[in-house]
A and B are shown apart, each in its own frame.
Chain A
Amino acid sequence: MMADLSRFTWGKKKKIEPEEKDEMKEKGTEGNLNSILKEMAEQVDGLLCIAVAGSDGVAISTYVPPGSMLNAELAAVQLASIFRISRTTSDKLKAGELEDNLLTSTAGQILIRPLGEESYLAMVTTRDAPLGIVRLVVKSYASKVEQALGKGN
């Protein structure tokens, strides 16, 4: 399965029209976050779930594409445990700051990337989803998501 590369929009910053900007403000953090997750979702084939959650496992925002049977709340809790253990592991093994954690199973791939100290961004895909694109999308959107989170505080 080949990814449709024509849909990639990063690098070229989308011009935000003044009206659109106001609309984003009105929607608040949650609306803004949801639209970012949706934008991410459009660029990845084989997506099962995108989650932004706290390290305590409480989901902040999740996106599950139609057709995916994944339980996003459960995913947020489980992935928070992995996020915490990866950080403890890199600390204990004196390996420096955690950049990301990639879990591969027979049917899926999970990429978790920290957003500051207290939260993370995770993408769950099928096993055949192109890993390079998953990493690129998560990496390039991490700061955007972090920004959207920061606005809410």
Chain B
Amino acid sequence: MAVEEENKETEETKKRSIGEVVEEVASMTEGLLGVGVMDMEGVPVAVVTPPGSTLNAELAAAQLAVVVRLCSLTADKLKLGDFDENLITTASRYILTKALTPDFYLAMILSKESTTLGMARLVAREHAARVYKALPKFE
């Protein structure tokens, strides 16, 4: 069917464009070990890990989806509005998750050696807006 084909095509173009945006984000960010857009089920929509990064993207997507869900639930229960972002700081990494829509989130893992907390937050905020624009919108 022509209509179906057309739908499929637009969907593909949209998907490619979000992939491109994430790719661009990855090339612009210093100290990046992985960046991706995932859905709340932990399934990656677009993921980029720079060459040399040993990050397991599937594992990160699944694990961080649990984090994001729990954070949303917590913000809800404590009546602190809607979940915006969560930042896990460890000895060597910044693990940042940011809600894009109720169904999608942006995740970034950065090396602590080559970036700062302030920069990580700033970069995430900037990129979130770009990625949000490229997200497929379901009517």
Partner-B contacts on A (CB < 8 A):
69-71, 74-75, 78-79, 81-82, 85-86, 88-90, 92-93, 95-108, 110, 124, 127
Contacts and interface: CB of A to CB of B under 8 A. Distances in A.
B135 interface: no
Interface of B: 55-56, 59-60, 63-64, 66-67, 70-71, 73-75, 77-93, 95, 109
Nearest to A108: B80
A92 B42 CA distance: 15
B78 A70 contact: yes
Given A75-B78, A92-B59, A93-B59, A105 B93 contact: no
Given A81-B70, A95-B95, A90 B88 contact: yes
Given A85-B70, A108-B80, A101 B63 contact: no
B1 to A, nearest CB: 43
Given A85-B70, A93-B59, A108-B78, A101 B64 contact: no
A106 B82 CA distance: 5
Query: Main secondary structure on chain B at its contact with chain A?
Result: mixed
Query: Main secondary structure on chain A at its contact with chain B?
Result: mixed
B32 to A, nearest CB: 14
Contacts of B88: 86, 89-90, 95, 98, 100-101
B77 A78 contact: yes
B91 A86 contact: no
A98 B90 contact: yes
